[in-house]
Amino acid sequence: MSTRVLLALLLSSCAAPGPTSPYLLVLGTAQDGGYPQIACRQPLCEAARSNENLARHVVSGLIVDPAADRRWLIDASPDLRAQVELARGHGGPAADEAGRPPLFDGILLTHAHMGHYAGLLQLGREAYGSQTTPLYTSPSMGQYLRDNGPWSLLFDAGHLEQRNLKPGEAVQLSPAISVVPLSVAHRGEFSDTLAFAIQGPARRVLYLPDIDRWEGPWLDFATWLAEYDAVLVDGTFFDGGELPGRDMSKIPHPPIARTLKAIENLPLAERAKLIFFHLNHSNPVLDPDSPQRERVRASGARVAWDGMQIEL
């Protein structure tokens, strides 16, 4: 068992009673390939192999309503096995509950890129064999999953039940929590892409791991940040120069450096709402002592970490 997982279990068993108001638990902050990434021999990856506390799970989130003892997963990553352990003690089925109860009261998917839905297979007959779990997706994402194996088997066997999301239309998850899906411009080989505006009783949080660019209405950060109390946004690359030899037009993401430039004239209170996640294994902000990480700190923004909690 890794040090990170062991620490999470010790904290959940030894700590004082947890929060009673809803929150978002960040289960992963790395880009789809994880950190360190497969076969990566760059210094950043080797550092994470020698010090597992630097490693990060693939991006995912857990919406928790302690009063209702309910929880909802955002994106089922390839690291779902470990993330279920990190989520232990944050709602979910009782340890002695009979059968294979759903691990979540629902799962919300952003889009059909590997880091965001590959973990669904862990719910099937070859692994957990879950009882029926509601799966909230866009119509195109749901259609893609139902029409293609091995995902279709999850519906055929009753492990998942797909429910359509409509951009701009709120879904009431519990009396205290609602989620509004938002359309996002991002590579759509198999589905469209969504972000989620999560509304709790006290705060509103944006969850946006992937977007191609900030051009258009998303570029008005003054208005945009004013709408939310915390915003988790695409921080895949720092300046777009981390992958020599790769055609970056094929993997578009707004670089952190450009995002920082767009917010530099905003008040500190607004800049402090910005939290970067979905970090590629090549991104220098993964090094807590790098100049790029210091630049983020100096701006007032933050880099998310696995296990981060954001009050709702």
What pLDDT digit, counting tens, does each position of 134-169 carry? 999 999 999 999 999 999 999 999 999 999 999 999
* 289: exposed, middle or buried (Cβ count in 10 Å: 0-12, 13-18, 19+): exposed
Residue 25's CB is within 10 A of a number of other CB atoms, namely: 20
Q: Please compute Rg for the chain using Cα positions.
A: 19
Q: Regarding predicted confidence, which is higher, 31 or 244?
A: 31
Number of domains in the chain: 1
- Segment holding 271, helix H or strand E: helix 268-271
From residue 141, give the alpha-carbon distance in Å to each of 28, 97, 135, 170, 190: 22, 32, 10, 18, 7
pLDDT of residue 83: 98
- Segment holding 172, helix H or strand E: strand 171-174
pLDDT of residue 212: 64
The answer as to whether 87 is a domain residue is: yes
The answer as to whether 8 is a domain residue is: no
Which residues touch 74 (CB under 8 Å, ≥6 apart)? 60, 61, 62, 63, 107, 108, 109, 110, 196, 207
Is the pLDDT confidence value at 121 over 50? yes
Is the pLDDT confidence value at 291 over 60? yes
**Letter for the amino acid at 301?**
A
Residues in the chain, total: 312
pLDDT of residue 123: 97
The answer as to whether 219 is a domain residue is: yes
pLDDT of residue 92: 82
pLDDT of residue 251: 60
The answer as to whether 10 is a domain residue is: no
The answer as to whether 7 is a domain residue is: no
The answer as to whether 120 is a domain residue is: yes
From residue 69, give the alpha-carbon distance in Å to each of 90, 200, 280: 8, 15, 33
Highest mean pLDDT among 167-171, 181-185, 252-256: 167-171
Instruction: Give the span between the Cα atoms of 77 and 30, in whole angstroms.
Output: 10
* Phi then psi dihedrals of residue 28, to 5 deg: -165, 150
pLDDT of residue 218: 64
The secondary structure of residue 166, as a DSSP letter, is -
The candidate with the shortest Cα–Cα distance to 211, out of 250, 184, 241, 238, is 184
- Segment holding 232, helix H or strand E: strand 230-234
pLDDT of residue 5: 47
* Phi then psi dihedrals of residue 101, to 5 deg: -65, 155
User: If you average pLDDT over every residue of the chain, what do you get?
Assistant: 89
pLDDT confidence tier of residue 191, bands split at 50, 70 and 90: confident
CATH at residue 275? 3.60.15.10
Distance of CA 172 to the CA centre of its chain: 20
**pTM (two decimals):** 0.90
User: What is the mean pLDDT of the segment spanning 80-94?
Assistant: 91
pLDDT of residue 111: 82
CB 82 within 8 A of CB 102: no
pLDDT confidence tier of residue 11, bands split at 50, 70 and 90: very low
User: What is the mean pLDDT of the segment spanning 212-239?
Assistant: 82
pLDDT confidence tier of residue 192, bands split at 50, 70 and 90: confident
The answer as to whether 11 is a domain residue is: no
Domain that holds residue 98: 20-311
| Strands, E assignment, 2-127 | 23-28, 60-65, 70-74, 106-108
The answer as to whether 266 is a domain residue is: yes
**What three-state secondary structure class fits 31?**
coil
Q: Regarding predicted confidence, which is higher, 249 or 172?
A: 172
pLDDT confidence tier of residue 20, bands split at 50, 70 and 90: confident
